Amino acid sequence: MNGTAKTTLPVDGMSCSACAAKIEKALRNTPGVIAARASLSAGRASVEYDSRRVGLPQLAEVVQSLGYQVVEDRHDAPAPAAAAERDDVDRANRTVHDRYNRVARFYDFEQSIGMGLFFRRLRRELWERAPQRGRILEIGVGTGINMKHYPEFAEMTAVDISERMLARATKRAEKLGRRVDLRQMDAQELGFPDGTFDAVLATCVFCSVPDPVQGLREAWRVLRPGGRLLLLDHVRSDNPVLGKLMDWFNPIVVRMEGANINRRTEENVRAAGIAPIEVSRHWLGLVRVIEATKP
Ligand SMILES: C[S@@+](CC[C@H](N)C(=O)[O-])C[C@H]1O[C@@H](n2cnc3c(N)ncnc32)[C@H](O)[C@@H]1O
């Protein structure tokens, strides 16, 4: 007799893709479980299991033993199409998270050569435009390369999806003697109320965030009226030939580095409803500094 069964556990308490990965791993390691997938955005874990070897209470226990709650089924279960879309986002987030965890060790070295050198001046100049006081959020802090430019009297918060990048950022903050509230968080789902920050900055981040328009909407949302958004990023060339070349090479670069080289970040900023914006172009327009003040 075949005892294969499937269930979906509504899970509360997941705050980042690492939580989903942890739940998935624990479920997969449970004897009798055939397959498991946890979705951060849907707040669910889907499990295929052998009901002769393991039951629902044990599966719920596995999740609860990690500190999450398995709740009574919610009434807001997503429609199948929406659930599939969310699964895609989760998968994309997981890929980005894993890639940056992998490159964390080499990231500072990479930034100390080649393009990284060119970005040094632009980073410094970007941070010089940030307010000198108040609450500032850095999105996609990475290993904390920008920390040396943080305004001395600002109250700094910085987020990233990769815990290995954050571990390096934590060490850097300690070394610099900077107090920074570092949190593992998805830029597409910022856990801050509307209007929390006086400024939001990001350098070379929206080339990696799976849904950049959603990430930019979030950056704008957490900014207070009158607050400044300051972005520095490399973008797809406007030159048709170079642009096409960037499209071709993009899959290889993403795999190796984690960042897309063909993002149209300026267009994405507009698509996120951010206006008015000021753009300055560098390196034949391949690098752009985008600024906006929230009305
Ligand atoms: C190219 S690195 C840039 C790091 C840093 N801003 C810098 O300029 O050196 C991109 C960073 O964005 C982070 N990231 C990518 N997608 C993210 C997301 N959805 N939420 C938060 N951080 C994300 C990556 O983990 C990585 O640390």
Specify the CATH number for the domain of residue 155.
Answer: 3.40.50.150
pLDDT in tens, 156-187: 999 999 999 999 999 999 999 999 999 999 99
Provide the pLDDT for residue 76: 44
Does 130 share its domain with 268?
Answer: yes
Does 153 share its domain with 198?
Answer: yes
Does 134 share its domain with 246?
Answer: yes
CATH number at residue 40: 3.30.70.100
Does 73 share its domain with 125?
Answer: no
CA-based nearest residue to 41, from 90, 92, 97: 90
Provide the pLDDT for residue 73: 56
Q: Confirm whether 163 is domain-assigned.
A: yes
Does 58 share its domain with 171?
Answer: no
Q: Which ligand 1 atom minimizes the distance to the CA of 142?
A: 27
Does 121 share its domain with 248?
Answer: yes
Residue owning tokens 């970005």: 119
Does 161 share its domain with 34?
Answer: no
φ/ψ region of 32 (left if φ > 0, alpha if ψ in -120 to 50, else beta) reads left
Instruction: Report the nearest-CA residue for atom 11 of ligand 1.
Output: 140
Q: Which ligand 1 atom minimizes the distance to the CA of 259?
A: 1
Ligand 1 test: best mutation among 161, 203, 217, most atoms within 8 Å of CB? 161
Please count the structural domains in the chain: 2
Q: How far is the CA of 81 from the centre of ligand 1 (A)?
A: 28
Strand ranges across the sheet with 33-39: 33-39, 44-50, 4-12, 69-70
CA distance 19 to 40: 8
Q: Confirm whether 84 is domain-assigned.
A: no
Does 121 share its domain with 239?
Answer: yes
Q: How far is the CA of 6 from the centre of ligand 1 (A)?
A: 35
Provide the pLDDT for residue 244: 94
Q: Which of 31, 54, 77 is the last residue of a domain?
A: 77
Q: Confirm whether 277 is domain-assigned.
A: yes
Q: Confirm whether 212 is domain-assigned.
A: yes
Q: How far is the CA of 224 from the centre of ligand 1 (A)?
A: 23
- How many angstroms separate the most distant Cα atoms in the chain? 69
Q: Confirm whether 96 is domain-assigned.
A: no
Does 53 share its domain with 173?
Answer: no
Residue owning tokens 């400044």: 228
Q: What six digits make up the tokens of 256?
A: 């190796």
Q: Confirm whether 93 is domain-assigned.
A: no
Q: Confirm whether 88 is domain-assigned.
A: no
Provide the pLDDT for residue 75: 41
Does 119 share its domain with 210?
Answer: yes
Provide the pLDDT for residue 77: 47
Ligand 1 test: best mutation among 90, 98, 100, most atoms within 8 Å of CB? 100
* Ligand 1 pocket, residues with Cβ under 6 angstroms: 93, 96, 100, 140-142, 145, 159-162, 165, 186-188, 203-205, 208-209, 259
Provide the pLDDT for residue 114: 75
Q: How far is the CA of 166 from the centre of ligand 1 (A)?
A: 10
Residue 36's domain comprises 4-77
Per-residue pLDDT of the chain (295 residues; tens, 9 = 90+): 578 888 888 898 888 778 888 898 899 999 999 988 888 877 888 888 888 888 888 898 899 899 988 886 554 444 555 666 667 778 889 999 999 999 999 999 988 887 788 899 999 999 999 999 999 999 999 999 999 999 999 999 999 999 999 999 999 999 999 999 999 999 999 999 999 999 999 999 999 999 999 999 999 999 999 999 999 999 999 999 999 999 999 999 988 888 999 999 999 999 999 999 999 999 999 999 999 999 9
CA distance 60 to 8: 10
Ligand 1 test: best mutation among 205, 206, 287, most atoms within 8 Å of CB? 205
Q: Confirm whether 271 is domain-assigned.
A: yes
